[in-house]
């Protein structure tokens, strides 16, 4: 079930909300929690009920591992906590690896060893990367002695709670599980409801109005066009850069807003990432809960910055190489992680040398690096990536309008350009103004979380919410998945 669907907005969400708080009002707290688990599993199963046993088995397994790690009596089985933790992590990674990477390994083995093994074409269960990472963090925290309670119902609710189940944010048990036990969580909070609806409306607008609009150009440029002129290539890359941000931040806004309806506060996941002036700053703003996971459970266990400068560079690089592989089973994802790992190493070395760039130049370099690296993140294969990237920096095919061509012709510069339909392969040229407006928006506007933190329930905000919903809801007829469902 999608957040941007009529059945979710008009049936599932209101019904779940009212039943949950009805049970809570009758002081049936266990019943309210159990219902929310049931509703979340129903939400998950809506897409494909085949994988319901998978998530249920994963929850039971990881809870059992967590309990074992939190107790001191496992020595009677002659198993150390480290052994139990290692076993738990390996099992989680094997589960994720089977569904997400089997065909990738088979295809590469076929290529490297000249084999002819058939691909299995395994369907990736929705949300498996997110609920697997969430539970790996849980058992690691249990090993570290940071898990304070062991209640199976609470744990099941923590993992399955439908706002974050399919695409995050990646949650820590210690920031969410206590909220499910707080008495205030079971009483309707009208301020939270107002802010939640406000954030949901912003997220819906981001997704169906902005992201899905740019998706058309990105799809045409990456997947359909055989050739691109220079302007089309830049429009293609920028379209995906904006699509990805507004799609994923839109999902996150909706998830945070929905959770607030139930008095659960999720951590911030985006903080105006395209305002970043260096690559480290970008990763402190983009998909913040993933950055936190990579830092806490990969970078620091590798040694962090405690084993010398050379080892620090290696740890940074390996962390983002692994992060690239986590995003997808493909060499383009690995190369994307490689690029960001190298960029972070270069940035750290630059800082050590005490070099500083003009802020505007630093922003220009950072944004363009991010935009270019997204090409490999989006492209289905190397050929598609090279098609876009090479066209962005080639002067062999610069197409401009007749009016502009005549102007350059008067300056004797017509030998550089061709005139024709500038956006012939992308479908239209009506997004130029939208590009400009979004740059202004990204650079100078406050983000949705800042606005929500300063939200006031007044007529102006009510009108703003209504206008967004009135504009966005009719566009739900063109239903599209969120991009991060594929990761």
Statement: residue 414 has pLDDT above 60: no
Cα-flanking dihedrals φ and ψ of residue 192, to 5°?
A: -60, -40
Please report the DSSP string for 71-99 in residue order.
-S-GGGGT--HHHHHHHHHHHHHHHHHHH
Mean pLDDT lowest for which of 20-29, 212-221, 277-286, 450-459? Answer: 450-459
3-class secondary structure, 409: helix
State mean pLDDT over 259-279. Answer: 94
Beta partners for 399?
418
Statement: residue 77 has pLDDT above 60: no
Handedness of CA 396, 399, 402, 405 (dihedral sign): negative
Statement: residue 266 has pLDDT above 90: yes
Residue 90, CB-side half-sphere exposure with 13 Å CA sphere: 6
Q: Which amino acids are annotated catalytic?
A: 327
- Percentages helix, strand, coil for the chain (3-state, rounded to 5) are 75, 0, 25
Statement: residue 78 has pLDDT above 80: no
pLDDT digits (tens, 9 = 90+) for 47-59: 889 999 999 999 9
pLDDT category of residue 409 using cuts at 50, 70 and 90: low
Beta partners for 418?
399
In 183-195, which positions are buried (b, 16+ CB within 10 angstroms) versus exposed (e)?
eebbeeeeebbbb
How high is the pLDDT of residue 476?
87
Statement: residue 420 has pLDDT above 70: no
How high is the pLDDT of residue 70?
83
Cβ count near 65 (within 10 Å): 22
Cα-flanking dihedrals φ and ψ of residue 135, to 5°?
A: -80, -30
Q: What is the H or E stretch that residue 201 is in?
A: helix 190-205
Q: Mean pLDDT of all residues in the chain?
A: 89
How high is the pLDDT of residue 184?
85
pLDDT category of residue 290 using cuts at 50, 70 and 90: very high
Cα separation, 401 vs 423, in Å, equals: 10
Please report the DSSP string for 439-470 in residue order.
HHHHHHSPPHHHHHHT---SHHHHHHHHHHHH
- Taking only Cα atoms into account, the Rg of the chain, rounded to an integer number of angstroms, comes to 24
Cα separation, 393 vs 237, in Å, equals: 12
State mean pLDDT over 11-32. Answer: 95
How high is the pLDDT of residue 412?
63
State mean pLDDT over 201-213. Answer: 92
pLDDT category of residue 388 using cuts at 50, 70 and 90: very high
Q: Would you say how long the chain is, in residues?
A: 487
Pairing of strands 418-419, 399-400: parallel
How high is the pLDDT of residue 417?
62
Statement: residue 34 has pLDDT above 90: yes
Cα separation, 453 vs 419, in Å, equals: 50
Cα separation, 71 vs 402, in Å, equals: 76
pLDDT digits (tens, 9 = 90+) for 225-265: 888 988 889 999 999 999 999 999 999 999 999 999 999 99
- Strands (DSSP E) found in 289-398: none
State mean pLDDT over 403-424. Answer: 62
Statement: residue 452 has pLDDT above 90: no
How high is the pLDDT of residue 358?
92
How large a percentage of the chain has pLDDT more than 90? 63
Q: How far is CA 23 from CA 16, 27, 41, 183, 187, in A?
A: 11, 7, 18, 14, 10
How high is the pLDDT of residue 405?
58
Pairwise pLDDT comparison (424 vs 130), residue with the higher score: 130
Choose among 159, 161, 153: nearest CA to 133.
159
Cβ count near 409 (within 10 Å): 14
Q: Answer whether 328's CB lies under 8 Å from 486's CB.
A: yes
Cα separation, 184 vs 187, in Å, equals: 6
Q: Answer whether 210's CB lies under 8 Å from 246's CB.
A: yes
Statement: residue 80 has pLDDT above 90: no
Statement: residue 43 has pLDDT above 70: yes
Cα dihedral 36, 250, 449, 343, rounded to 10, equals 120
Cβ count near 2 (within 10 Å): 19
How high is the pLDDT of residue 402?
62
Q: How far is CA 323 from CA 43, 212, 278, 307, 315, in A?
A: 28, 26, 19, 21, 12
Q: Answer whether 334's CB lies under 8 Å from 355's CB.
A: no
Cα-flanking dihedrals φ and ψ of residue 121, to 5°?
A: 50, 50
Statement: residue 76 has pLDDT above 60: no
């Amino acid at each position: 079930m999608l957040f941007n669907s009529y059945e979710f907005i008009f049936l599932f969400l209101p019904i779940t909300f009212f039943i949950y708080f009805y049970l809570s009002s009758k002081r049936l707290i266990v019943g309210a929690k159990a219902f929310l688990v049931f509703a979340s599993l129903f939400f998950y199963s809506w897409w494909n009920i085949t994988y319901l046993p998978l998530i249920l088995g994963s929850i039971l397994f990881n809870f059992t591992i967590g309990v074992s790690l939190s107790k001191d009596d496992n020595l009677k089985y002659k198993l150390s906590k480290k052994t139990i933790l290692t076993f738990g992590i390996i099992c989680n990674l094997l589960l994720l690896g089977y569904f997400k990477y089997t065909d990738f390994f088979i295809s590469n083995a076929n290529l490297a060893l000249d084999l002819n093994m058939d691909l299995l074409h395994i369907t990736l269960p929705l949300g498996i990367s997110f609920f697997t990472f969430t539970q790996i963090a849980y058992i690691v925290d249990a090993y570290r002695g940071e898990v304070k309670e062991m209640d199976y119902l609470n744990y099941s609710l923590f993992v399955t709670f439908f706002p974050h189940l399919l695409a995050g944010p990646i949650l820590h048990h210690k920031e969410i599980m206590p909220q499910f036990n707080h008495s205030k969580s079971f009483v309707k909070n009208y301020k939270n409801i107002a802010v939640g609806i406000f954030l949901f409306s912003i997220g819906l607008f981001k997704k169906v109005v902005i992201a899905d609009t740019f998706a058309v150009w990105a799809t045409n440029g990456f997947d359909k066009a055989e050739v691109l002129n220079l302007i089309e290539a830049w429009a293609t890359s920028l379209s995906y850069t904006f699509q990805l941000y507004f799609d994923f931040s839109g999902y996150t806004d909706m998830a945070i807003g929905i959770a607030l309806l139930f008095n659960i506060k999720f951590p911030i996941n985006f903080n105006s990432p395209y305002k970043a002036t260096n690559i480290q700053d970008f990763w402190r703003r983009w998909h913040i809960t993933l950055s936190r996971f990579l830092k806490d459970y990969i970078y620091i266990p590798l040694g962090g910055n405690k084993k010398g400068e050379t080892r620090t560079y290696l740890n940074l690089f390996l962390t983002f190489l692994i992060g690239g592989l986590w995003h997808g089973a493909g060499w383009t994802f690995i190369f994307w992680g490689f690029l960001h790992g190298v960029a972070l190493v270069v940035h750290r070395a630059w800082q050590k040398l005490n070099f500083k760039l003009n802020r505007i130049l630093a922003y220009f370099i950072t944004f363009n690096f991010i935009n270019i690296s997204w090409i490999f993140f989006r492209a289905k294969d190397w050929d598609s990536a090279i098609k876009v990237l090479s066209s962005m920096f080639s002067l062999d095919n610069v197409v401009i309008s007749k009016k502009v061509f005549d102007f350059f012709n008067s300056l004797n510069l017509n030998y550089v350009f061709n005139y024709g339909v500038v956006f012939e392969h992308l479908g239209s040229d009506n997004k130029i103004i939208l590009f400009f407006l979004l740059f202004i928006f990204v650079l100078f506007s406050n983000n949705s979380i800042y606005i929500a933190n300063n939200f006031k329930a007044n007529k102006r905000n009510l009108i703003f919410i209504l206008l967004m919903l009135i504009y966005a809801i009719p566009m739900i007829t063109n239903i599209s998945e969120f991009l991060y469902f594929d990761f």
